[in-house]
Amino acid sequence: MSDGALWSALADPHRRAIVALLLERPRPVGEIVEACGLSQPSTSKHLKVLREAGLVRVRQDAQRRVYALDPAPIAELDAWLAPYRKLWNRSLDALGRRLDETAPDDPEED
Amino acid sequence: MSDGALWSALADPHRRAIVALLLERPRPVGEIVEACGLSQPSTSKHLKVLREAGLVRVRQDAQRRVYALDPAPIAELDAWLAPYRKLWNRSLDALGRRLDETAPDDPEED
DNA sequence: GTCATTTATTCCTTGACGGGAATATAACTG
DNA sequence: CAGTTATATTCCCGTCAAGGAATAAATGAC
């Protein structure tokens, strides 16, 4: 049960957006600034939080700093989730899926 | 309802502790208070946050209110996690190949 | 009805977090 | 060296969340 830093890092929607961006490919800060519509300092601060949570790594390329996802903490999340996944598998089973309360699946994030 | 409420609810360690308690079994507020070492009002407020995030349900039993986990939001988390899980599976795979360095070619691809 | 029990809510204070502007640092260019 | 680009850091401020104390509300017992 190491870090609450992981959870609090992902609690912010902007940071989740950054993480989603980095899922596609590694990006320099400038790209992230542009994509998120945040100011550069704000973006740098969010990146610092993500860095300290271990969620991203930085590679230096001349003046640019290219950020990339580090998969390990996500695995930690997955491990945390495991017991609960059992639970909802069980209850889905119990429901017998006769109740379709939310059929449409929307992957929209924030 | 891709709500940030889910994330911010789970960002708090006390609330994660409550969720973990409810994973074992449904419990009335008093038990949660005792187990978490929080004050009763504070506990009630955390429960309210969890309720509004959809993470718990309440059943009334005389004066007691028995809280239980609702598995659905956890499934939402799991869905969010899915693309990242692919990523770390891939990198574990890449690591495995690196350790198993028998191939003469460079197998690195996308 | 009054009283006890259990839980929720309100008020208040404090501390942490996010955003913007300005500034600092680092790396490349000429 | 000075100048430019790219990123990080600092300072200040507004907002929001968390905790404690006191109180309210709901339920049950008498």
**The 3-state secondary structure of A45-95, one letter per residue:** HHHHHHHHCCCEEEEEECCEEEEEECHHHHHHHHHHHHHHHHHHHHHHHHH
What's this model's pTM, rounded to 2 decimal places?
Answer: 0.82
pLDDT at position B77 is 92
pLDDT at position B59 is 96
Q: Is B105's pLDDT higher than 90?
A: no
Chain A residues inside the 8 Å CB shell of B81: 74, 77-78, 81
Q: Is B9 exposed, middle or buried (0-12, 13-18, 19+ CB in 10 A)?
A: buried
User: How distant is the Cα of B50 from the closest Cα of chain A, in angstroms?
Assistant: 14
Mean pLDDT for the stretch of residues A25-43: 96
- The Cα–Cα gap between B46 and B49 comes to 5
- Please report which confidence band the pLDDT of residue A86 belongs to, taking 50, 70 and 90 as the band edges: confident
**Tokens 């590694």 sit at which residue?**
A26
Enumerate the nucleotides of strand C whose atoms come under 7 Å of any protein CB: 4-10, 17-23, 26-28
- The Cα–Cα gap between A7 and B44 comes to 22
